[in-house]
Amino acid sequence: MVSAGDFRNGLTVEIEGVVYQVIEFQHVKPGKGAAFVRTKLYNIVDGGVVEKTFRPTEKFENAHIDRVNMQYLYDDGDMYNYMDVETYEQIQLPHEQVADSMKFIKENEMVKVCSYKGKVFSVEPPLSVVLEVTQTDPGFKGNTATNATKPAIVETGAQVMVPLFIEQGEMIKIDTRTGEYSSRA
């Protein structure tokens, strides 16, 4: 159990049956009345952000999130298939649930599968990946006065904005948190 007065950024708690991660918190002591804790909470399961206030003495259950390293095996059309590399246990997750986090992941790459009380709710890709540019327009000399970009399709099928000097067939590094080009590989 953790009280609202002990909230810290990154802490995961269960409030009314929903798992939240504390994004921001602020202890407020008004001139009149009792103190309270103003928070901004991230709903881990559906991705929404809510703002709530609590009395500092309110207590909540700690929510332990399990993050297991798994290997992404393949996409069978409806489901993504993963394997735990230690136990060789395989799981399937529907496209609707994890498609956003899988757009930069190739087969056989390692990801973290996140679950709470045995229920899988998300997949965390590595922070950055190296992918080949499979399609992009050629760059033009002299077009480098500004930080101009152009669209490029990478080997997983995702579209990324890249600088004009990037050519088809080059390997590039992509930040998976933002989906942006970071450098040549």
38-55 pLDDT per residue, tens: 999 988 877 788 999 999
In 3D space, the residue among 50, 123, 40, 45 whose CA is nearest the CA of residue 80 turns out to be: 123
Query: Would you say residue 66 has pLDDT above 70?
Result: yes
Residue 141: what pLDDT?
Answer: 60
Query: Would you say residue 154 has pLDDT above 90?
Result: yes
* Cα distance between residue 163 and residue 151, in whole Å: 9
Q: Any idea where the domains of the chain sit in the sequence?
A: 2-62, 66-124, 128-184
Q: Record the pTM.
A: 0.72
Q: Same CATH fold, 128-184 and 2-62?
A: no
> Which ranges of 68-168 would DSSP assign to H, the alpha helix?
95-98
Query: Would you say residue 147 has pLDDT above 90?
Result: no
Query: Would you say residue 81 has pLDDT above 90?
Result: yes
Residue 4: what pLDDT?
Answer: 87
Residue 140: what pLDDT?
Answer: 65
CATH for the stretch 128-184:
2.40.50.140
* Cα distance between residue 69 and residue 84, in whole Å: 7
Query: Would you say residue 97 has pLDDT above 90?
Result: no
Percent of the chain residues topping a pLDDT of 90: 38
2-62 CATH fold: SH3 type barrels. (2.30.30)
* Domain 66-124 class, CATH top level: mainly beta
Q: How many residues does the chain have?
A: 185
Query: Would you say residue 143 has pLDDT above 60?
Result: no
Instruction: Return mean pLDDT, the chain.
Output: 87
Q: Give me the mean pLDDT over the 127-143 stretch.
A: 82
Plot region of 65 (φ>0 → left; ψ -120 to 50 → alpha; else → beta): beta
pLDDT bracket for residue 71 (50, 70, 90): very high
Report the first-to-last Cα separation within the chain, whole angstroms: 46
pLDDT digits (tens, 9 = 90+) for 112-124: 998 888 888 888 8
